Structure 1
Amino acid sequence: MYSLYLTSLLVTFFSSVTLNRSFQFLLLILVTLVSISFFGLRWHSGADYAGYLMIYEYIPTLSSFSLSAVKDIHGELGFLFFSSFVKSLGTADYFYMFILSVISISLKSHFFFKESPLPVLSFSIYLLFLGMTFEFVQIRYALSITFIMLSISSLVKGDRYKSFLLFCLGVAFHYFSVIFVVMYFYRRIKVSLVALYFMSLFTFLVISNLGGALFLFDLIPSFVSETILGRRVMGYIDTDEHYSQSVAMTSFLFLRVFLFAGIILFFHKRFNLENDKFHDFFRICMLFLFIFSFLSFNSIMFSRAVALVEILNFLLIAFCIEKSKKVIDRFLILSVFFVFSCLSFLKALDSENIYSYQTWLSIVF
């Protein structure tokens, strides 16, 4: 099943580049439906699946929902409230998981359709790179970053109120997403994109080799670390394993994040891409990369933070491909993303968090 899904994504990866907007829309619907089926119909195929079913089992219905009733249940308040709402409808646990996949995947598909000149390509790259991590395992965070993506889209369009509401919704589903609040300052950053890129690279190299947890977090007052958000952040770095696990320059994550941003920066200059939408998204992307490089001392925090950098890269690369006139330019860009897409998908499958694929259809029918 995994091989079949990988093959279908790779086919759309290449075929989507030559299609007009109408066919792009039809193919995007097909990819979305296939992906919803693949992720939504799974049954105990990922490490966190049983944990989410346990949350659903213990969550009260809305009539009994209160802070005291859910204080011992793992999860953010917004996510728990939504789960309670779904349970109040009498929904079975397996269909509850299906609903989560429908929301997360369909809204991401909508984002790429609205913002990307090649939506199928951008969406397929996302599914190849991050789908198995977020949509399969880290479900709460997958939902959270979906709302943050829509928040960024509204911010770029100038609708700050809608953007902030979506941002708050994202944080309500996963508290870690509060770090993305820095996006509201992107227009105040006057540094060039090239300078931001190299500042990010320098910051990464310094922090990842400093034992940054000692350098940054030992200074946090105890009353801050005892707050809900403080406890959640400290939870990432409070064990010996996580405390010392920085992101190496030779890591796959470092290579793909900085390589892709560098490729976009290069073609941005080469093609003179001054599209306002492209420029705004790219500035937010580079701001994220710089700020989140300070988290490179901890691989868990860094990988979650730069997820939005990667997603924006998947969007921005479509602008570069659309703008390119030479076949060789398109070939080079697609070749790099093709190789890394395959490696990312296969690397995710090799993770201990992914199990053999099963579907709950066999149980229902």
Structure 2
Amino acid sequence: MYLIVWSLFFSIAILSTVSSKSVNRISLFVFGFILVLFTGLRFYSGEDYQSYVWLYDITPSFIEDWTQVKTIPVEYGYALINFIFKLAGIESYLFLFVLSAVSLISKAYIFSKLSKISIISLFIYFSFVYYNSEFIQIRWALALSFIYFSILFYLHSKMYKAMLFLAIASSIHITSLLFFIILPLAKIAERYRIETPLFIVGICFLCLSPYIDITYLITSNFDFGGGGYFAIKLKTYLENVEARISWHVLFRYFASMIIVFILHRKYFYSNKYNKFDNYKFVKYQGALYTLFLVSSVFCFVFISFPILANRLYIFSDFLFALLIVNYVSCIKRFATKTIILIFVILVSFVYSLLLLNYMINSGNIYEYSTWWRMVA
């Protein structure tokens, strides 16, 4: 089932390289609808699904018990969402369906606003992160939706609204707190035009990552006693840190950064954006590039803390999927542009297949099953 859905997505992405804008918009809607159904209808097909059902089951279901929401072992915002749906008498599988729909529709909307060919950007992004960030990590998927909306406000220089959406995201998943640092730093870097030094710093941190143990530095220098939920959560993550990130994943991080750096210098600084004067996303390309560099640097700093680094790089993958499609769209020769887009789509598809095989073999996702059969 996984292969069928992703092969369909691959076919739509390939066709979009030669389709009109109106057809691509229809393709985005059609596949978005299919992906919402596929993701939302899953039933105990991922390793975290049972945990989210358990969280929902222990959520109070009466208004007079609302004060007990804070006892749920999860961020307060997510606990409150559970409580609201539980009051409405909605079953857990329908609740998780709604969360998946909100997450996926939000991301499709964001890509439609920032990408020249949104269906291709969406395909690249989900080829890298779908199974982790959407199929398994439901809370992080929802939090990312608010983070991505904050980026829209960030690009419009509406920092207060951006911070508000980050606050909502942080109430759903603790990792979102890092973006209160990333966004202001990116704004400073963009203002003082220090993108190239940022790139060099990022590469240095990546090369030095085998010698930087950030988990040891944190646990040996900070006392987590009496720090509340967030401190306990962080301590748990640090004490149960998994094996270091695989070399092939590090290589993908490295390759992504190199590719974006080269394409940005070629197509942004050479003023080849004149042909895109009618597209609003053009003026935001530089800001997205700086954000990509800053978030990548943070990711490389936390390489020894894989659970955090991987979640951070999901955001970088989001930016990469936008940037690479927008850069390639600058190529004037239609044949060259089409061939490159097809190559990028093909590489992403192969990566998604390898990732799917790994996730199944490692027990992160199981044979696909749906709750629809249970209620039909």
| TM value normalised by structure 1 | 0.91
| Separation in structure 2 between the aligned mates of residue 87 and residue 220 of structure 1, nearest angstrom | 38
Q: Which residue of 1 is the match for residue 374 of structure 2?
A: 363
Q: Which residue of 1 is the match for residue 175 of structure 2?
A: 176
Tell me the amino acid that sits aligned with residue 47 of structure 2. A
SS in 2 for 1:117: coil
Deviation string 1:326-358 (CA, Å, 9 cap, x unpaired) is 415445544543433433343334331101111
* 8 Å Cα contact 1:321-1:333 kept in structure 2: no
SS in 2 for 1:285: helix
- The equivalences for 1:61-72 within 5 A come to 61=61, 63-67=63-67, 69-72=68-71
- The equivalences for 1:1-365 within 5 A come to 1-61=1-61, 63-67=63-67, 69-181=68-180, 182-189=182-189, 190=192, 192-222=194-224, 226-239=227-240, 242=242, 245-247=243-245, 250=247, 252-272=248-268, 275-326=282-333, 327=336, 329-330=340-341, 332-365=343-376
Moved more, 29-38 or 10-19: 10-19
* 8 Å Cα contact 1:125-1:341 kept in structure 2: no
Task: Give the drift of 1:43.
Answer: 0.9
Change (3 A) 1:232 1:129: same
Deviation string 1:214-244 (CA, Å, 9 cap, x unpaired) is 2344112445x733322222211113x53xx
SS in 1 for 2:28: helix
Change (3 A) 1:71 1:272: closer
SS in 1 for 2:221: coil
SS in 1 for 2:60: coil
| Separation in structure 2 between the aligned mates of residue 285 and residue 272 of structure 1, nearest angstrom | 15
* 8 Å Cα contact 2:124-2:345 kept in structure 1: no
Change (3 A) 1:185 1:211: closer
Tell me the amino acid that sits aligned with residue 370 of structure 2. T
Q: Which residue of 1 is the match for residue 278 of structure 2?
A: none
Moved more, 97-106 or 202-211: 202-211
* 8 Å Cα contact 2:127-2:348 kept in structure 1: no
Deviation string 1:80-131 (CA, Å, 9 cap, x unpaired) is 1111111222212221111111111110111101111110011122222211
What do you get for the CA RMSD once the two structures are aligned? 2.0
Change (3 A) 1:175 1:212: closer
Unpaired runs of 5+ in structure 1? none
Change (3 A) 1:331 1:103: closer
| Separation in structure 2 between the aligned mates of residue 330 and residue 120 of structure 1, nearest angstrom | 12
| Separation in structure 2 between the aligned mates of residue 210 and residue 287 of structure 1, nearest angstrom | 18
Task: Give the drift of 1:139.
Answer: 0.2
Moved more, 343-352 or 274-283: 343-352
Tell me the amino acid that sits aligned with residue 26 of structure 1. I
Tell me the amino acid that sits aligned with residue 247 of structure 1. I
SS in 2 for 1:47: coil
| Separation in structure 2 between the aligned mates of residue 41 and residue 331 of structure 1, nearest angstrom | 30
Q: Once the two structures are aligned, what percentage of the paired residues are identical?
A: 22
Change (3 A) 1:361 1:333: closer
In the alignment of these two chains, the number of paired residues is: 358
Moved more, 103-112 or 4-13: 4-13
| Separation in structure 1 between the aligned mates of residue 74 and residue 43 of structure 2, nearest angstrom | 21
Task: Give the drift of 1:305.
Answer: 1.5
| TM value normalised by structure 2 | 0.89
Moved more, 24-33 or 256-265: 256-265
* 8 Å Cα contact 1:53-1:93 kept in structure 2: yes
Change (3 A) 1:64 1:256: farther
Deviation string 1:243-280 (CA, Å, 9 cap, x unpaired) is xx3335x2x32122221221121111222356421110
| Separation in structure 1 between the aligned mates of residue 65 and residue 315 of structure 2, nearest angstrom | 32
Tell me the amino acid that sits aligned with residue 149 of structure 1. Y
Tell me the amino acid that sits aligned with residue 268 of structure 2. N
